[in-house]
Amino acid sequence: VNTVPRSNLLAIKLSTGALTNFAPVVNGQVKALALSPDGSRLYIGGSFNQVDGKTRWNIAAFDTATGALLNTFKPAVGGSYVNAITATDTTVYVGGLISAGNGTARKNLMAFSASNGALTSWAPTADLQVDAMVLAPTNDKVIIGGRFGTVNGATQRGLAALDPSTGTVISSWIAPSIIKNGISTGSNAGKAGIYSLSVDSDSI
């Protein structure tokens, strides 16, 4: 009673809490949202293959001014689901339980060009899924959290900082040596992990 239909994604006005007319039709679960730095785009990720009747494999982007689905950004993410997205002006970083970008093999992490959706060479690997991702305030680190036990083949239990250009682990960022929560072996494999991250001007 007194509800308005929406399909896995909606928006409300911050000032009043009222529902807006943003009403895309997504045919599966939405698990991640991220804005472009200038706020002009909303990226969504999850487990779906159509948005507004158009093919979109687990990732899509909208114009925030009009609410329209963008046709200039339509990469394809293969695998089970996208859990995390973060973006710069030029690059959209994606994490989840995923296996390919635009038909090229990747392992739970990948990145796309913001301008045209082309897969970039950024290809770090996590042995289990990535559940969270943020960009450091200085844009010099992509911080990932999840249930993984290794990143790029080396032990990183649920937390890692990655170079945004090369995908290498930034070993000088010492938080993963203190916070250890993911594990990929034994009876607890894939159960514990870091499920969310947020960022302010100087802290993760």
Q: b/e for 73-91, b at 16 or more Cβ within 10 A?
A: bbbbbbbebbbbbbbeeeb
Backbone Cα Rg of the chain: 17
Q: Is 151 strand, coil or helix? A: strand
Q: How far apart are CA 59 and CA 77, in angstroms?
A: 7
Joined tokens for residue 133? 């991702």
Q: Residues 106, 32, 134, 67: what is their CA dihedral angle, to the nearest 10 degrees?
A: 110
Per-residue pLDDT tens digits of the chain, which is 204 residues long: 778 999 999 999 999 999 999 999 999 999 999 999 999 999 999 999 999 999 999 999 999 999 999 999 999 999 999 999 999 999 999 999 999 999 999 999 999 999 999 999 999 999 999 999 999 999 999 999 999 999 999 999 999 999 999 999 999 999 999 999 988 888 888 889 999 999 999 999
CA distances from 118 to 75, 114, 192 (A): 7, 8, 33
